[in-house]
Structure 1
Amino acid sequence: MTSSHAYMDDFARFITASPSSYHAAAEVARRLDAAGFTRRDETEQWPATPGRHYIVRDGAVIAWAQPAAAGPTTPFRILGAHTDSPGFKLKPKPTLASQGWLQAGVEVYGGPLQNSWLDRELELAGRLVTRDGAEHLVRTGPFLRIPQLAVHLDREVNTAGLTLDRQRHLNPVFGVGDSSQADLVGHLAGLAGLEGADVAGYDILTADTAAPATFGRDSTLFAAGRLDNLTSVHAGLLALIAAPEDTGQISVLAAFDHEELGSQSRSGASGPLLDDILTRLGAALGADVSDRLRAYAGSWCLSADAGHAVHPNYPERHDPANTPIAGGGPLLKINANQRYATDAVGAALWARACEQADVPYQEFVSNNTVPCGSTIGPLTATRLGIRTVDVGVALLSMHSAREMCHVNDPVLLSAAIGAFYAGA
């Protein structure tokens, strides 16, 4: 898939199919199945079977391609990304009523750019779990909206600024009436072919329903929800599917959940998920503790997450010497305080991969007065001791309900990941 626009058309379909981390994991699994990967059950014994396999844990996916010659000390090439995005999550007892309006009770998930979620048609999406433990994916399509206060009722909003109270101002409306006339959980259950009484638990989040779109001069710009971090999940997935079969290492895609919350969960990068899978793969190959540590010592992880392009209206918020531009290629993300895990050795690996793939890349470092966020990179390096380098696609409006990038950058990222998998 060499055409940027063909790539982005496929990416748009991926985004549309992935309104929640649980849907994203299911879409990754569907595409892996179509590409001939075999799903493994974590409760079963795994034989040392070469080939292509994957597991799903909640909203996370680990997939791997194991060459026939793999042994106890075969190293890993890991692409790490995350399936979740900032937004709002449905609370318990979520059906509210106020002043004749029906509203959904929501809790802020991660660090969304809150004002960007106003006056948009949103959907609810995620999983319902019945009393027998079965999971059911559900999505509503356009269903609710967080209405902003009219300028006539807040004459200073354009000069004094907009202040949103997270408890009072962010509950979306979805109808009129009183709470006895509506049941959000019952509505979601009905969409999944269930009765409301069958639902014992749920993980339901909001998502913007506007379709992904290319726009601008020569249609070179792309806007959609959840670019952070479905850009990396999709790029890594396509690269893994296309990876050569016998490269001297085991190629791995690790798409974690809960990165936007700090990754501290059973399916997050701070949890045991990746270590569990790598340990089991090594054990199936006959690895003892020493063999496992030798394999890790020869391994690499690319932590692929979104980064910032220089904002033309706020250039003072960026480093004056390192100024990534949209369309200039993926980022090499660097931070002296190890908020990103890149070091000089990792920078050299990334340079080799990009050179092999004929991909330009750009260095990103934060302005000293603007602390940067972090990624799964330092977490993976700390937990496993695997050498890690942080990379990603440059965005504007990160953590907005609708982010944007250049159409060339995701496909260039995927090509560079492909070279990484090939052993650059």
Structure 2
Amino acid sequence: MWLNTLLLALREIRRNLLRSFLTMLGIVIGVSAVITMVTLGKGATRSVQAQIASLGSNLLMVMPGQRLGPGGGGGPPFAAADVEAIASQIGGVRLVAPEVRSSATLVANGRNWSAQVTGSTQNWFSVANWTIASGRGFEPDEERVGAAVCVIGATVRKELFGSADPLGEQVRVKKFSCTVVGLLGSKGQGAMGNDQDNLLVLPLATMQRRVVGHTRINTILVSMNESADTDRLKASLEQLMRERRKLADADDNNFNVLDTRQIADTMSGTTQIMTMLLGAVAAVSLVVGGIGIMNIMLVSVTERTREIGVRLAIGALEREVLLQFLVEAVVLAALGGLIGIALATVASIALARLMQIPYAFDASINLLAFAFSAAIGVVFGYFPARRAARLDPIEALRHE
């Protein structure tokens, strides 16, 4: 019986192909929209996690100021002694790197380019998760005397030197020139949309003397051991900085200690919430598609009233007529779901490439969308099917 019912449903769909396709269109759009939104959302979440991870694993960032964001209020900067105290007085710390940042126009090879300039120590490359693609980092003597050497990122290399080897070349930063001794491996776009490769790195002393003109430190990067208790280490770090900055018990911190893992979790959570909201909005079109199926099935019942009367008159049971129209509605919805999944796959791959985020295929959301589309067929197809099954055979045979 089930096979015959399915064949009857497919025959009716094939008989009115255009109408059947237009009936399925709402389901197709709804399924493809839901799957595309969720897939892109998952890809965006993975991209954010990867970008945060590129800052460094098990990393704490110590920054001046009472709180982050607008109106956060400034706080006194850090000194070299603060860096030394963190490295020597807190257990579980692997490496510590001071960081001074500025922006400047770089000039080399007859070209100029605006980039971020960072001053730090050799530890910075390891703490901030940078690799040296070619050349080397800073020698201890170069750090101590503030030598005019630098390491450049992939974007700076491309804009100033093109495909040529930059090692040994001179780059002018403001009023002095430095020799390129290393080229950083590429990281790509950062979590805030910035180009992480658009930078030039100088020894800390060189940066302080020749670029910014002071000995203040903007940020301290603290890399923890894998086995370290993050909460305990963070609390110890805050206590040490409060003591060094002579804050009373009633005073608020005039600095912030940020954990990159917490930043990643927060941003990932935000992205997931936005994905759920977009998916819920897209799911509304599935309901609209279900209403379209119910409307067309009611029209079909009216058109086939005489056929239904003949079937009932020769002995067909009400449940058989009900099943015939219900299966027809489910087949329409299920076919729409399959077409929607195919369109969503193509759209997700294309948009992921366009947005430069990973394509995150999720079999569960595809199966869930398909099951939901079939359920839409059952829910919205039941009323027309019930109406067809309850027709009076005599009245149905008289219908013109």
TM-score higher than 0.5 = no
Using CA pairs below 8 Å that are at least 6 residues apart, which structure has the higher relative contact order? 2
Between structure 1 and structure 2, the one with the greater Rg is 2
Higher helix proportion: 2
User: TM-score, normalized by length of structure 1?
Assistant: 0.23
User: TM-score, normalized by length of structure 2?
Assistant: 0.24
